[in-house]
Structure 1
Amino acid sequence: MSAEGGGIVRNELSGQVAGAVVQAADVGVINIAAPPAAPARVPRQVPAEPPGFVNRTFELSLLDRHLADGPAVAVVSGLKGVGTSAVGRRWAHQARERFSDGQLYVDLGALRHGGASGVSDVLAAFLRALGVHESWIPEELPERAAMFRSMTAGSRLLVLVDDAEHAAEVTPLCPASPGSAVVVTSHRQLRGLLAEGAVPITIGPLDAEQGLRLLAGMVGEERVAGQRTHAVELVRLCGGLPIALRMAGAQLLRHPAWSLERLIRDLAEAGRRLDRAAAEGGVFVDAFFEAVYEGLPESAARLYRLLGVLPGSAFSPGLAAAVLDGEPAQALDLLLDAHLVEEFAQDRYRMHDLVRLHAARRARSAEPPEERESALRRAAEWYLTGAAAADAAMGRRLRLADHGERLSGAGWSFASRGEALDWLDAERADLLAVLRAAAAREWDEIVWQLAEALWPLHHDRGYHADCAEANALGVEAALRLADPAVEARMRNQAARAQLMLGELDQARDQLVRARRAARASGDPRMEAVILESLGRAALVRGEPDAAAESFAAASAIHERAGNGRGVGMQQYHLGLAHLDAGRHGEAAAALGRALPLMAAAGDALSQGRIHLELARAQRGLGRPADATRSARAAAELTRECRVPVKETQAWELLAELAEERGDREEAADCLRRALSTCLASGNLPRAGTLRARLAAVDQP
């Protein structure tokens, strides 16, 4: 810009700004209005309404009455197969309009792997569903629970928790807002929740009239009314369990010429062939599953049996094909028609627990042990191939496993890192179940390679308990293989998870053992990796000098190997250690060495992080102009890389620098940018803090 007469040119920008803004020449005052609250994400996670749902009007009305004024918790309990989940899902869909801020859902039965760590993972998933960016989610359960309460304060939100076993699994998942509600389904009464004021709603088996209505809804009123006596007997034999009655209806639909008497006769005959009656209610429910199973063609019956071999709770057509060692489409359709499996999401299937137990028993009786093991091995190989393909989509990182031959022609592809992570997340519970099964059979190559491939999921999504367990199994596999490089890799990944879980002593012990293994392996890359983790652990323990020693040693290994990016990363970590110790000059020097190396590697995110720490070091050295330039570079780079935590920190640092030089207007503008970043990335609690700071700076 230019101005006649040499007058001062002011380049002013006001109003709400979205995207990048380029200004040239002299820059005057920049005014950015405080951004409005970002539109809230409204999750709708409850699975589809169960098909053919009938009755339960009394129980649904109880839920309506007790959950009318929140915050309220209802525990819907009953025997397996009685329909507790169906009631919860039905009510959630009926009451959808009551919860304008959305519905969150978790099936704890599918995810359960012990302790409060599973609850922490659920909270992380809930926060993501509410729009919180991954990088904002805290590591620890108490902080995640606190953020969830803050995010949902004042919301009208429904949380549906399926298949809970303990009150402790549920309590952290409860919003405190008066307009919210929590519905918990369980096969237990969950007395701990009831003692805290939860409302108990017991679901019993369907009585004769209710069972008849369910059957009539499937096969027609006339067919049931014309054979009422036998229909009542069929309801009794099914124990009033909706799952068994739906199978009965499916059988009758598949055989329109069958009478109900014929179906009852087949059921009684199947019962006589069984060694025992089903445990619940003394009713031959297993016998009914047997009758349905025996009506299947062999291809569908074999798939049914082999699915019973799987340790997980869900499967896809791809996994079914691997287990069957052939095309599953027709067999899978037959199992769907018979209500032996259900499709609960697109290309995602599962068996009811009672059905899965029956399938497992049929597999043990009809499939030779070697075929059961082969089917499980095929499943494990399928999961390893998928995980390896997803890991490959994550970009460059050190990997010991070479999956080139495995992935060649396998047909796996992921369009992006996010898509790969989403697939891993959807399969997470079953991946861990298969890994455990492989470890129990000492399929050691599969175990450690799967644990290595799952690192991006565990690290990026914060599944630290899964990570610690998976890599502990990997350590055992490495020891059996007598492979020190694999041992070092597995111990390192386990230790990183233990650090995140606050298990500092266990992490240090793992890393000491990992370093011995790395040295024994003769692979300098592994020793450098372990040294970096030792440095990280020392920083967590508040030992910056020990951390600096480890980072410097790792840097020297990378330098001898000619790995410029590795040198750059360790110099960055070395700078962090010096900053922790208050050595601002040494920090600035290390960070200054790191910057060109990461630029040469094309790593924009690392450059952004380095600029941010360099700004802090320069501020400590009394160089505010340099600190401001570095912090602005950090804000721009982290914005481009979509890392809102670091971008917010950069804008906050810029605001502090502006305040120190007396420029309150610039400080306010920077705080507005920080606030806008927080709102856009879903961190409403942090946004509230920034609003308060902005109000204080804006005061005359």
Structure 2
Amino acid sequence: MTEARTAAYDGADQGASRLYRILGLLPSATTAIHPAMAGAAAGLDPAATIEALDVLVAQGLLSHGVDGGHRFASLPARRHAAALAESTDTPATRARVIRRALDWLLTEATAASRRIDPTRRTVDPPVTFPPAHRLGLSTTTQARAFLADRGPHLTTTLTLATTHHRAAVPYLVHACWPYYLRDGDHRVTVAHHTKALSTDTALPLLLRRELLGARATALRARHLFPAALEDAHEALALARQDSDLAGIAQHQHDIGATLHEALAHDLANVYLARAHQGRTALGRHRDAANTLLTQGVVYLDLGLHADAVKRLRTAEEALAAQGDRYNAARARAWQGRAAALSGDHEQATLLLAGAMVTFRAEGGRLWQARVLVWQAEIAVARGHAGRAAGLYRQAADLYQGYSPTDHDRVSAALTQLTG
């Protein structure tokens, strides 16, 4: 097979054979090829890139996937291209190709992150080769689709960047936060942020704070509360050092959310109240609504259902007004949870179903799992054991590989239900 590939490669024109070698150097964990990254790495315009890729298809070196895109026939085929690059091109040439690919990814990931959440503070990445041809991610849906496409390749990408563009690692991790938050494996998220924070390059203060806050969120999701609080308190100290009122409120929110998860509800309310006050004073209405949402959840856990529902409804309305469908759905889901705990299963079912529609549309894997668990509990309360078992299985599948603690908890509930 290798001999056949080499013969096909030898039969391609110079431009196509060069692109084939470049494809082997690009960061990818699969056989898929991203044409825009390939073009940026090769210094080609989009039309020339597609033309060269089609030549490689005609030579049998690539194929068209079911989505119409280009791909290697197998991972050994990708390794064949990389081996040819290793034997043909100089180290300087290979390093420049990889740097161009990483600069393209940094640029597009940063643009996607800013499109998804314009209010989130981001830092301009260090780019040596600004890509001449951009994707033009003009909608949130396009931006999320881009990060979802690149997300599974992040470990491979960061490994490559560690060797060829170490300074890019923290910026790339920072830019991909919307992916980590919605769809990332919490263990991987912690590992990647730890790598980003371990750089030997001095980081801008804002970037370090954002990375610490993000890692704290992932640690909280893994129920590693002491470590999460340590990161969040360090981030808060840095925000105070920088006299950044928005940052102070953000990290107070993170600390309050973590204390709530750790069942320190009274202290959680202190931090959340400060965060809400600070965010409201700064006119950060979406952030203030998210803090109000978390306060509603704290009140729910304290058994104060009326106060909880009041805050959750207000949060949902404010978030919807800000165009934040995902977090508005979170507020609605929690209202469904409150209704279920109060015994109003009909209202709970309606609210949870409405939230689930948004989570499926927006790609919130872990929130889909949480809603399925709550729906299963309602089914159990109504005596529908078969339906409950099916819902628990769906939730367990979604948690598998993403949240071991939750997966084990749901699996235990399923075992108890089915015997």
Fold equivalence (TM over 0.5): yes
1:509 to 1:375, Cα distance in 2 relative to 1, 3 A: same
Q: Report Cα offsets for 1:554-594 as digits up to 9, x if no partner.
A: 23433453434444433443343344345679868977986
1:678 to 1:529, Cα distance in 2 relative to 1, 3 A: closer
Deviation at 1:452? 2.3
What does residue 350 of structure 1 align with?
Answer: 72
Matched, 1:424 2:140: no
Asked if the contact 1:531/1:550 (under 8 Å) is kept, the reply is yes
Asked if the contact 1:538/1:546 (under 8 Å) is kept, the reply is yes
> Across the two proteins, how many residue pairs are aligned to each other?
364
Q: Which moved more, 1:563-572 or 1:329-338?
A: 563-572
What does residue 90 of structure 2 align with?
Answer: 368
- Give the letter aligned to residue 297 of structure 1: D
Q: Report Cα offsets for 1:347-371 as digits up to 9, x if no partner.
A: 1413533333332232123212222
Matched, 1:481 2:202: yes
Matched, 1:379 2:97: no
Deviation at 1:442? 4.1
CA distance in 2, matches of 1:583, 1:670: 18
Q: Which runs of 5+ in 2 are unaligned?
A: 361-367, 385-419
Tell me the SS of whatever aligns to 2:25: coil
Matched, 1:295 2:295: no
Matched, 1:530 2:254: no
CA distance in 1, matches of 2:8, 2:132: 41
CA distance in 2, matches of 1:674, 1:597: 17
Asked if the contact 1:475/1:487 (under 8 Å) is kept, the reply is yes
Tell me the SS of whatever aligns to 1:480: coil
- Give the letter aligned to residue 458 of structure 1: Y
What does residue 236 of structure 1 align with?
Answer: none
1:383 to 1:676, Cα distance in 2 relative to 1, 3 A: closer
Asked if the contact 1:340/1:351 (under 8 Å) is kept, the reply is yes
What does residue 495 of structure 1 align with?
Answer: 216
Q: Give the counterpart of 2:137 among 401, 413, 418.
A: 413
Matched, 1:649 2:337: yes
CA distance in 2, matches of 1:431, 1:595: 33
Deviation at 1:485? 1.4
What does residue 154 of structure 1 align with?
Answer: none
Two-structure CA RMSD over aligned residues (Å)? 3.9
CA distance in 2, matches of 1:602, 1:297: 50
1:595 to 1:315, Cα distance in 2 relative to 1, 3 A: closer
CA distance in 1, matches of 2:347, 2:226: 41
What does residue 515 of structure 1 align with?
Answer: 236
1:679 to 1:589, Cα distance in 2 relative to 1, 3 A: closer
Deviation at 1:288? 4.9
Q: Which runs of 5+ in 1 are unaligned?
A: 1-243, 245-284, 611-637, 639-644, 658-666
Deviation at 1:674? 6.5
Asked if the contact 1:305/1:363 (under 8 Å) is kept, the reply is yes
Q: Give the counterpart of 1:394 among 116, 119, 130.
A: 116
Q: Give the counterpart of 1:305 among 21, 26, 40.
A: 21
What does residue 274 of structure 2 align with?
Answer: 553
Deviation at 1:678? 9.6
Q: How does 1:462-481 map to 2 (within 5 A)?
A: 462-477=184-199, 480-481=201-202
Q: How does 1:184-195 map to 2 (within 5 A)?
A: none
Deviation at 1:380? 1.2
Q: How does 1:577-616 map to 2 (within 5 A)?
A: 577-581=298-302, 601=322
1:490 to 1:366, Cα distance in 2 relative to 1, 3 A: same
Asked if the contact 2:158/2:169 (under 8 Å) is kept, the reply is yes
CA distance in 2, matches of 1:582, 1:562: 31
- Give the letter aligned to residue 81 of structure 2: A
1:435 to 1:520, Cα distance in 2 relative to 1, 3 A: farther
- Give the letter aligned to residue 371 of structure 1: T
Q: Report Cα offsets for 1:472-494 as digits up to 9, x if no partner.
A: 233234x6134221111011112
Q: Which has the higher helix share?
A: 2
CA distance in 2, matches of 1:448, 1:568: 29
What does residue 409 of structure 2 align with?
Answer: none
What does residue 338 of structure 1 align with?
Answer: 59
Deviation at 1:503? 2.9
1:304 to 1:651, Cα distance in 2 relative to 1, 3 A: same
What does residue 49 of structure 2 align with?
Answer: 328
CA distance in 2, matches of 1:438, 1:652: 48
What does residue 438 of structure 1 align with?
Answer: 161
Q: Which moved more, 1:539-548 or 1:392-401?
A: 392-401
Q: TM-score, normalised by structure 2?
A: 0.72
Deviation at 1:335? 1.9
- Give the letter aligned to residue 173 of structure 2: A
Asked if the contact 2:26/2:98 (under 8 Å) is kept, the reply is yes
Asked if the contact 1:457/1:463 (under 8 Å) is kept, the reply is no
Q: How does 1:233-244 map to 2 (within 5 A)?
A: 244=1
Deviation at 1:443? 4.0
- Give the letter aligned to residue 410 of structure 1: R
Deviation at 1:375? 0.8
Q: Report Cα offsets for 1:617-665 as digits up to 9, x if no partner.
A: xxxxxxxxxxxxxxxxxxxxx4xxxxxx4464365367x25xxxxxxxx
Asked if the contact 1:554/1:570 (under 8 Å) is kept, the reply is yes
Deviation at 1:289? 4.1
CA distance in 1, matches of 2:5, 2:133: 39
Asked if the contact 2:40/2:131 (under 8 Å) is kept, the reply is no
Tell me the SS of whatever aligns to 1:545: helix
Larger-gyration structure (1/2): 1
Q: Report Cα offsets for 1:172-191 as digits up to 9, x if no partner.
A: xxxxxxxxxxxxxxxxxxxx
Q: Report Cα offsets for 1:188-233 as digits up to 9, x if no partner.
A: xxxxxxxxxxxxxxxxxxxxxxxxxxxxxxxxxxxxxxxxxxxxxx
Q: TM-score, normalised by structure 1?
A: 0.45
Q: Report Cα offsets for 1:310-355 as digits up to 9, x if no partner.
A: 2323312222211211122332223223332233342141353333
Tell me the SS of whatever aligns to 2:64: strand
CA distance in 2, matches of 1:576, 1:399: 26
CA distance in 1, matches of 2:79, 2:281: 57
CA distance in 1, matches of 2:212, 2:382: 46
How many percent of aligned residue pairs carry the same amino acid?
Answer: 23
CA distance in 2, matches of 1:581, 1:456: 30
- Give the letter aligned to residue 339 of structure 1: G
- Give the letter aligned to residue 324 of structure 1: A
CA distance in 2, matches of 1:552, 1:602: 24
CA distance in 1, matches of 2:203, 2:144: 31
1:555 to 1:671, Cα distance in 2 relative to 1, 3 A: closer
Deviation at 1:372? 1.0
1:567 to 1:674, Cα distance in 2 relative to 1, 3 A: closer
Tell me the SS of whatever aligns to 2:71: strand
1:324 to 1:520, Cα distance in 2 relative to 1, 3 A: same
